[in-house]
Structure 1
């Protein structure tokens, strides 16, 4: 079984979308979760705009709850996908050794290998930003699923 973690800043916009999208593409033999590098929204549901765009595509992420990334996630998860450079740096700071570091990858490197492109944070924008993020993550998660299946 492969365990995958999606990480963004607050765990209410990008990473819950990525979690919901990837879960929809994989069998129950995989565990997919999400976390934030900050604890701003621990225990909170995803942003209503993330919930709405997910629902538009037949996914229900409304029951997910935000949580903060912690060191034990390196033990639990085989792959840790981050949304941007800041998330990457914050996760890497907690790494204990090279094996931890090797698990951390930029999600958009799936669609643009080696480029370390960032999934933009749609929090302060309008609904259109959430649609764009959904499309980016859907494409990347499709490639992740193809590799894992």
Structure 2
């Protein structure tokens, strides 16, 4: 079986976006963040992956509604294949971005050290315009309109996260930065 671990590459700041099954929210966040990184000219400094806390959909494409929502906004998510987060990945990641507090609890339980736990952040915590809403809602049991609303939320939060990472990574050789601080109080 191939090693699914995010590839540790010297000089890259490694981010993993995590939701429940890795077919709705985290693939959206991965695709959006990768697009921001590429358009920002930092694809040689930031690597973005995604995973789920559960193994129900391992190997599957993103939910068709996810793919449709992404396509309506000009993104392509067809290369995505779901996978489950492996706690051993903490060693190779700089930032683990979770989409809601249930994912945060699971990953904090899986983390073996305080250093690993310090890598875990809620996506919405980076967005000052999130209105203090901690969780990105799960659209799985909803309609395509909800997928579009969730994608808009993810885009806003990813732009805010990229806005925090970009200055530090653009002006430094290697990564040299620790976890960016959330911008919302109490996050």
Aligned residue number for residue 43 of structure 2: 28
Contact 1:106 1:116 in 2 (8 A): no
**Structural RMSD (CA):** 1.4
Aligned residue number for residue 171 of structure 2: none
Aligned residue number for residue 106 of structure 1: 122
The separation in 2 between residues aligned to 1:50 and 1:70, in whole angstroms, is 23
Q: TM-score, normalised by structure 1?
A: 0.96
The answer to whether the aligner puts 1:70 opposite 2:86 as a matched pair is yes
Give structure 2 stretches of 5+ with no counterpart.
1-11, 167-187
Contact 2:98 2:104 in 1 (8 A): yes
Aligned residue number for residue 161 of structure 2: 144
Q: TM-score, normalised by structure 2?
A: 0.77
Give structure 1 stretches of 5+ with no counterpart.
none
Contact 2:22 2:51 in 1 (8 A): yes
Moved over 3 A (4+): none
The separation in 2 between residues aligned to 1:18 and 1:85, in whole angstroms, is 16
**For 1:1-149, what aligned pairs fall within 5 Å after superposition?**
1-26=12-37, 27-29=42-44, 30-112=46-128, 115=132, 117-149=134-166
TM superposition shift of 1:44: 0.5
The number of equivalent residue pairs is 149
